[in-house]
């Protein structure tokens, strides 16, 4: 007899997009998801950062600490985003300053308390949840430049079958060796630079109706529709950079492009 399929959702890069977070919680009710995990970066980019914090705390959703959360919680000078380009850092500074000023002391203390990593069991798989990578919160693991050998090294070093992260804002999944899975769950705070206004989260399930292997891992990326026009209006009222608002309205990244590897950047228009 087959065991019941277990479905777990992962999301990250909230970026203060409280409307996408609201839509996500509603969407999950229709998908039979048993558990939900947030992988960090609650603030940045969008308006009203306290709203996302309060929604997550109110729903008691387990959260991992992202670089933004660590910086805001500890009162650091910048977001520790890991950018190297002056233009990227200029916009990161604007975003961080706004988020820090508009996050309450109570929520700052909560962000400070979040764990950097967590381990859960997904069926027979040991899963390690992180923000960037298990070894560094703000490490960028891009699909085009992250080798199978490096991923297998991470699985061995950190004794995990599955590693789930976010940070880059671009979703992808790979099985570099049998039974080992790396998943970037994407970001719900802004679209994945493909001209679509939807955002992305991941649902991971055990077992598929069409296969006799009840331990088969199924990874599904969900394109989430939310009121992006309303978010853009909120951002405009808060006088956030026009470049940020344009991304929400069009689905194309106007900032943080310099950090992208060549293949990922070629998918965008800037």
DSSP-based three-state secondary structure for 5: coil
Residues 103-123, buried b or exposed e (16+ Cβ, 10 A)?
beeebbebbeebebbbeeebb
Strand partners, 35: 8
Summarize pLDDT for 76-93 with one digit per residue, the tens: 999 999 999 999 999 999
Do 11 and 185 touch, CB atoms closer than 8 A?
yes
Mean pLDDT check: name the lowest of 41-50, 130-139, 200-209.
Answer: 200-209
Say whether pLDDT at 212 is over 60: no
CA nearest to 159, candidates 122, 113, 127, 120: 127
pLDDT of the residue at 213: 67
In which band, very low, low, confident or very high, does the pLDDT at 6 lie, cut at 50, 70 and 90?
confident
Q: Are 182 and 163 in contact (CB under 8 A)?
A: yes
Hey, how many other C-beta atoms are within 10 angstroms of the C-beta on 20?
Answer: 32
pLDDT value of residue 211: 57
Q: How far is the CA of 193 from the CAs of 26, 169, 177, 257, in angstroms?
A: 24, 9, 29, 10
Q: Which fold has domain 7-266?
A: Purple Acid Phosphatase; chain A, domain 2 (3.60.21)
**Res. 100 pLDDT band, cuts 50 70 90:** very high
Mean pLDDT of 142-166: 98
* Cα–Cα distance for residue pair 81/13, rounded to 1 Å: 12
Q: With 50 as the cut, is the pLDDT of residue 3 above it?
A: no
Our measurement of the distance from residue 167's CA atom to the centroid of its chain's CA atoms, rounded to an integer in Å, reads: 6
Confidence of residue 268 (pLDDT cuts 50, 70, 90): very high
Q: Read off the pLDDT of residues 106-118 as tens digits, 9 standing for 90 and up.
A: 999 999 999 999 9
Give the integer Cα–Cα distance in Å for 38 and 35. 10
Q: How far apart are CA 12 and CA 3, in angstroms?
A: 29
Q: Percent of the chain, pLDDT > 90?
A: 91
Is 36 a residue whose pLDDT tops 90?
yes
Give one DSSP letter per residue of 128-140, joined into a string: EE-SS-SS-TT--
Report the candidate in 121, 53, 43, 26 with the shortest Cα–Cα distance to residue 78: 43
Tens digits of residue pLDDT in 217-264: 999 999 999 999 999 999 999 999 999 999 999 999 999 999 999 999
Residue with tokens 């790396």: 182
- Determine if residue 15 is left, alpha or beta; phi over 0 gives left, psi from -120 to 50 gives alpha, anything else beta: left
Mean of the per-residue pLDDT values of the chain: 94
Q: What's the burial of 243, exposed, middle or buried (CB within 10 Å: 0-12/13-18/19+)? A: middle
The model's pTM: 0.94
């Amino acid at each position: 007899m087959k065991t019941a399929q277990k479905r777990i959702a992962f999301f990250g890069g909230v970026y203060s997009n409280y409307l996408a977070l609201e839509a996500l919680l509603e969407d999950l009710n229709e998908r039979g998801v048993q558990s939900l995990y947030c992988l960090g970066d609650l603030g940045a980019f969008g308006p009203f950062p306290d709203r996302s914090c309060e929604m997550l705390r109110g729903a008691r959703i387990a959260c991992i600490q992202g670089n933004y959360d660590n910086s805001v919680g500890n009162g650091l000078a910048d977001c520790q985003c890991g950018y190297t380009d002056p233009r990227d850092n200029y916009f990161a500074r604007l975003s961080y300053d706004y988020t820090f000023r508009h996050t309450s002391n109570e929520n700052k203390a909560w962000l400070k308390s979040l764990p950097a990593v967590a381990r859960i069991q997904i069926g027979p798989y040991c899963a390690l949840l992180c923000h960037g990578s298990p070894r560094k919160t703000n490490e960028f693991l891009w699909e085009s430049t992250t080798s199978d050998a490096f991923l297998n090294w991470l699985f061995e070093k950190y004794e995990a079958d599955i590693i789930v992260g976010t940070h880059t804002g671009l979703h992808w999944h790979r099985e570099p060796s049998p039974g080992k899975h790396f998943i970037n769950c994407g970001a719900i705070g802004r679209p994945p630079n493909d001209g679509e206004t939807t955002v992305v989260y991941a649902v991971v399930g055990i077992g598929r109706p069409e296969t006799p292997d009840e331990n088969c891992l199924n990874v599904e990326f969900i394109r989430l529709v939310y009121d992006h026009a309303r978010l853009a209006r909120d951002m405009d009222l808060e006088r956030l950079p026009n470049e940020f608002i344009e991304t929400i309205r069009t689905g194309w990244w106007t900032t943080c492009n310099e950090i992208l590897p060549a293949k990922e950047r070629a998918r965008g228009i800037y």
